Amino acid sequence: MSAKLTALLPDLAPWRSSPDFRLLWVQGLVTYFGSAMAMIALPLQIKDLTDSPFAVGAMGAVELVPLVVFGLYGGALADAVDRRKVIVWTEAGLGLLALLLLLNALLPDPMLWPLYVVAAGVSALAGLQRPALDSLLARIVPHDQQTAAAALNSLRWQVGSIAGPALGGMVVAYAGHAPAYGLTVACFAVSVLMCRRLSPAPPAHDADKPSLRGIAEGARYAWSRPVLLGTYAIDLAAMFFAFPNTIFPFLADELDAEWSLGLMYAAGSVGSLVLGLTSGWTSGVRRHGLLVAGGAAGWGLAIAAAGWFGNVWLVLLCLALAGAGDMLSGLGRATIWNQTIPEELRGRLAGIEVLSYSVGPQLGQVRAGAMAGWTGTRAAVWTGGVACVASVGLLCLALPKLLSYDSATDEDSLRRKAQQEAVDGARPEAAGTV
């Protein structure tokens, strides 16, 4: 194999250096697969019960408040307790909520309101869990391997989110909603068992209890760092304006291609997967702010094109290109976060990160559903993509330090690297399992 081709392959250094990273990678694949199944079944079930774009889009509004509240609290919790315990208990809770969806789907006449209740519960538990998961990565993976770890995690997510929607669409179409929810329950059961094998991740000895003051301290730190602000703002803008997933069922109908719904949900992940499989070059990138902005702008352009074209195959191609742009931006964000944020604030900043990459899609679902009801489905898609590109450009002008960020010279990056090396040097080699 030529050296140039080898350089494109994913960098497996984090997989080789960290047993906990390997375990989290496999566990995450199982979880993403199950979650993707439910992601297809839930909006489709709401559509079948209501036949309303607004009702489907309202799911994002229902999820928003729990995500904000529990995401911020989850960040403070991740800095104050053992992060493994948070991951295990929230994963078990998500499995129970999937079980409730299954039981409702098995009723002779499934009810609508439990779907919104479960959506809100999933949002709350995800808000609690993600800061613990995200902050754990900076602890178990060496500083110089953070981009490679982010690429491998994205690759894992794409595999699950491609297989899940593709299979989920077929399962719902040919067997109904209940089997899809049943597979989700089974995946979470396996995931909980795997999470229990993670090494303990206790907080610092002087860590404060979760509090509003602690959350405010993390927010003040983020506000004082223009580079961090840029990563949050660009992702929020991109997802708010150009996240049309919730109206895909109506887009498929408008294109007279109902069979393509599962492919629409999976297309973005296909693009991300292709980029992930050729992501080796990103390990050598130092200007991660350029990845954030360039990837987000590419996402917006591709979404605009997907709304403009009337051929379903061109739409699917554009959605795949959008997925590649989103992954590129995500690699830049994750690397900046994990290479610059101090360990004692990592959980609280991870809570803010949850808001930056989750609130945007939730609001984007509401925007897309409302806009589709007003202007039509395709117009709601392409106008959102154009607005995304414009907002990324304005934010780059307002926050120029993001584009000039260089991991080799940035003071926060160098300080975080020294901090991690000091902690690693003092930590005994031990792998905890239960």
Q: Are 60 and 361 in contact (CB under 8 A)?
A: yes
User: Which residue do the tokens 């609508």 mark?
Assistant: 112
The Cα-based distances of 219 to 27, 76, 77, 378 in angstroms read 30, 11, 15, 38
Closest CA to 434 of 17, 20, 16, 14: 20
Residue 92 has pLDDT above 90, yes or no: yes
User: Which residue do the tokens 């030529």 mark?
Assistant: 2
Rounded to an integer, the average pLDDT of 50-75 is 82
Each residue of 135-193: pLDDT tens digit? 888 788 887 888 888 888 888 877 776 777 777 777 877 888 889 899 999 999 999 99
More confident residue, 37 or 312: 312
Rounded to an integer, the average pLDDT of 27-35 is 86
Distance, first Cα to last Cα, the chain = 41
**Euclidean distance between CA atoms 411 and 100, whole angstroms:** 49
User: Quick count: other Cβ atoms within 10 Å of Cβ 392?
Assistant: 28
Residue 205 has pLDDT above 80, yes or no: no
Percent of the chain with pLDDT over 90: 34
The pLDDT of residue 433 is: 36
Range name among 11-20, 126-135, 199-208 with the lowest pLDDT average: 199-208
Rounded to an integer, the average pLDDT of 256-272 is 85
The pLDDT of residue 432 is: 39
The tokens describing 261, both together, are: 């719904």
**Euclidean distance between CA atoms 246 and 46, whole angstroms:** 11
The pLDDT of residue 1 is: 52
> The pTM is what?
0.72
The pLDDT of residue 135 is: 83
In angstroms, how far is CA 257 from the centroid of its own chain? 28
The tokens describing 145, both together, are: 């391997």
Residue 102 has pLDDT above 90, yes or no: yes
